[in-house]
Structure 1
Amino acid sequence: MRVITEAELRDQYKQAEFTSYRLPAGTGLTPSAQQFLSERRIKVLNGATDGLDMEPKTRPDARENGEAYSVLETGQKLDEKPEHLTHIHGRILVAKNHPRIKFRGKLDHLQALLISAIIDIEGFGYRELTRDLGEMLEYCRQIMSAEVTGAPLAPLTFRGLSNLEIREHSHHPRRHYDVSHIFIQPGHGRVMAQLNLLRTETRELELAAMDAFHGQPEGIERPEGMERPDILQSLNRLSSLVYVFMLQLVSGSYKVGS
């Protein structure tokens, strides 16, 4: 399946801004392309017709129409978006090294690692584990959408386990999987190494989220309502979930061919 990249969308948007995008049949969007469309409130339409939907955005005078860009840190109004700034929400701009933009990059990176792990682990024959990782990937996409749009994020669940039960399973492996806590060694093999990489990347993502949403980092203006306890808690549970995957692998719950 062909995927549409952020670079392609950005080039088309520079030529003529649009409010909706018709996704050609048999194609998908990369995570960064999804973010590009979400940030600009561009509606994605599915259909066989290639290219842009016929809804160009006309903006003869951005300031008169109240559509000027606004720089979050300074309140400055701009008709055009400078290259060193990017969208944080709607037409609000921040520097590309803003903590929330760094968080989005980390989340994008985790999704890329998940896709790579799913492909590799499927090749080893662990179909059930592959499906579980696919669910994790989908939840990461929900996190991205919730962060960009400001929508609430549903708590993480897994196979009937609640948010709190995921934590309980990760903290007490002997009780739930009859194995001890895992200290990763090369002898655990490639699949375990892939899961451990995902676990550590998820922890890094949680730290990036702390910078983005918790407290008041020096020099960062944070509007009211920007903190996201739902995202912070879900990321904490997400790393626990990956550890649960690892426990299930070492306990034999995941089997080749199933």
Structure 2
Amino acid sequence: MKFITEIELRALYKTEPFDSYVLEPNTKITPGARQFLVDKRVKLVQAQCSEGKKSNTNESNQAQARENWCALRLRGRMDRIEAYFLLIAADILRSGDAVLSEEVMALGKCFRNVRNAEREQKAPDKIQFWGWSEEEIIKRSENLEKYVEISEFHVGLENGKEIALLNHLRASLRDVELAILETYWNEEKQVCSRQDLIDAVNLIINILCMMMRKCLGGKKCKG
């Protein structure tokens, strides 16, 4: 199953604005992408599947195998992201920024909690960072990611390497969000059954965006 993201819709809309969007069969839309269409007043149209397609035992087995494969892929991606946190924290420390390195390490522990929550099928622990609650983090980072567009200009700055590394983590976490949707999408209810995991990942992304903004002295990250 393919998921259409907000980033894809923004790029498409930027190329040529549209007032309706057709969602093909076996394609879903992320919550962020759906909100983007609402904000732009774009009508979402669900394409109809071709008739004569009936479920059978073989198809059911294939669906189950696909679900198992999605779960394995999700866990592989989450393991890779956790490794990224450690690698990037070490790289930043070698660059001489011990404070930022510790923050990345601490955020990596938050992500490890999300990974463990998925594997143990339980709710993730509440995230606190810089002494802020989840509610405070959400409030302080509202719409911040929309302004994060890292380019070659930012790489050329004095702390450009750190900004690029943080941005790499941000983009990698977006990939995890899609993997969670693929694994836990409830077709009947048209919702993700593990929205709590997605919310936690989005919170970590928001913190990364704030870190990048702090690297730029509080300025927006547009190039």
Which category of TM-score, normalised to the shorter sequence, fits these structures?
Answer: 0.5 to 0.7
RMSD, matched Cα? 2.8
CA deviations over 1:141-181 (Å, ceiling 9, x no partner): 212221111222112221122223222222366xxxxxx94
1:234-253 to structure 2, matched below 5 A, reads 234-251=200-217
Q: Normalising by structure 2, what TM-score?
A: 0.59
Higher-RCO chain (CA-CA 8 Å, sequence separation at least 6):
2
Question: Is the 1:114–1:137 Cα contact (8 Å) retained in structure 2?
Answer: yes
Task: In structure 2, give the amino acid aligned to 1:169.
Answer: R
1:132-151 to structure 2, matched below 5 A, reads 132-151=103-122
Number of matched pairs: 149
For residue 171 of structure 1, give the secondary structure of its aligned residue in structure 2. Answer: coil
Aligned partner (choices 137, 141, 151) of residue 185 of structure 1:
151
Partner of 2:52: none
CA distance, structure 2, for counterparts of residue 102 and residue 172 of structure 1: 29
Question: Is the 1:142–1:153 Cα contact (8 Å) retained in structure 2?
Answer: yes
Question: Is the 1:110–1:202 Cα contact (8 Å) retained in structure 2?
Answer: yes
Partner of 1:30: none
Task: In structure 2, give the amino acid aligned to 1:204.
Answer: D
Partner of 2:172: 201
Partner of 1:233: 199
Unaligned ranges ≥5, structure 1: 1-72, 75-92, 174-179, 218-225, 253-258
CA distance, structure 2, for counterparts of residue 96 and residue 229 of structure 1: 17
Aligned partner (choices 93, 113, 116) of residue 122 of structure 1:
93
1:64-143 to structure 2, matched below 5 A, reads 98-143=69-114
4+ long deviations beyond 3 Å: 93-97, 180-183
How far the C-alpha of 1:205 sits from its partner, in A, is 0.8
Partner of 1:34: none
Unaligned ranges ≥5, structure 2: 1-59, 155-159, 219-223
1:19-58 to structure 2, matched below 5 A, reads none
CA distance, structure 2, for counterparts of residue 216 and residue 100 of structure 1: 16
How far the C-alpha of 1:203 sits from its partner, in A, is 0.9
